[in-house]
Amino acid sequence: MYTRLKKACNATCKHITDNQILERDIITTSVNKLKRSLFIRAAPVLTAPPITNVAPSLYLGNLHDALNAPLLRKKGITHVVSIVSQSDAPDLREFYARNTQIAHKLFDADDSRTFMLCLYFYPALHYICEAIRKGGVVLVHCVAGASRSATIVAAYIAMMTRYTLERILLDMSKARRVVSPNIGFLQQLEIFVFMYRHVYDA
């Protein structure tokens, strides 16, 4: 599985780079449709939604959730994947230096439509898969639990199921109304799902 995943992730990034998809603002009809669907469903962010169980042994949340030790204990979280920028990293590093019983993986990422989040698809998905395979419970978060972390979680669900990307994202948004990956991340997700399911299908 991991060989296939690595090939699909590498091919995704190569395709995006070779075709300058993010720089040239190339947006497919299907990505526009996804973005419109999520925009219609998205709720106004008046209060942060609670940490959300989106798949077996997998939670989606925000920065506050990731820094809430009682909540992490209550949910049985054993591993935390942080998809945040360096400006958010100091508090996280200090927190997990104190809470050593929880394994922590940090990926420095901006919530920008031109950011190559696909560079983190393989290491993040590999980490999540291994943690769950060994009986762990994983929280994936960014600042709001809406774009960066939601993209990684959607990629994981796409890898583990045959659901369409539209169904995955709409199901996630039903559970967590703020879910709305930026359009650049949606482009990368769409290409990754195609590469994983069709180009490198086992």
Residue ranges per structural domain of the chain: 2-42+50-199
Query: In the structure, what pLDDT confidence band is assigned to residue 22 with cuts at 50, 70 and 90?
Result: confident
Give me the pLDDT at residue 107, please. Answer: 97
Question: Contacts from 191-195 at CB under 8 Å and sequence distance 24+?
Answer: 191/12, 191/15, 191/16, 191/21, 191/118, 192/8, 192/9, 192/12, 192/118, 192/121, 192/155, 192/158, 193/155, 193/158, 193/165, 195/7, 195/8, 195/9, 195/11, 195/12, 195/15
Give me the pLDDT at residue 40, please. Answer: 54
The answer to whether residue 142 is catalytic is yes
Q: Which residues contact 101 (CB under 8 A, 6 or more apart)?
A: none
Give me the pLDDT at residue 43, please. Answer: 54
Average pLDDT over residues 94-99: 94
pLDDT at 189 over 90: yes
- Among residues 9, 13, 118, 142, which one is catalytic? 142
Say whether 196 sits in a helix, a strand or coil: helix
User: Can you list the alpha helix ranges (DSSP code H) found in the chain?
Assistant: 2-18, 29-41, 63-66, 69-75, 89-98, 121-133, 148-160, 165-175, 183-194
Query: In the structure, what pLDDT confidence band is assigned to residue 41 with cuts at 50, 70 and 90?
Result: low
What is the CA angle 116-89-126, rounded to 5? Answer: 50
The chain-wide mean pLDDT, for the chain, equals 91
Rg of the chain on CA atoms, in Å: 16
Average pLDDT over residues 152-170: 96
Q: Answer yes or no: pTM beyond 0.95.
A: no
Say whether 77 sits in a helix, a strand or coil: coil
Task: Write the CA distances from 163 to 56, 91, 94, 166, 198, integer angstroms.
Answer: 15, 36, 38, 8, 14
Query: In the structure, what pLDDT confidence band is assigned to residue 26 with cuts at 50, 70 and 90?
Result: low
**CATH code at 2-42+50-199:** 3.90.190.10
Query: In the structure, what pLDDT confidence band is assigned to residue 35 with cuts at 50, 70 and 90?
Result: confident
pLDDT at 36 over 90: no
Give me the pLDDT at residue 200, please. Answer: 77
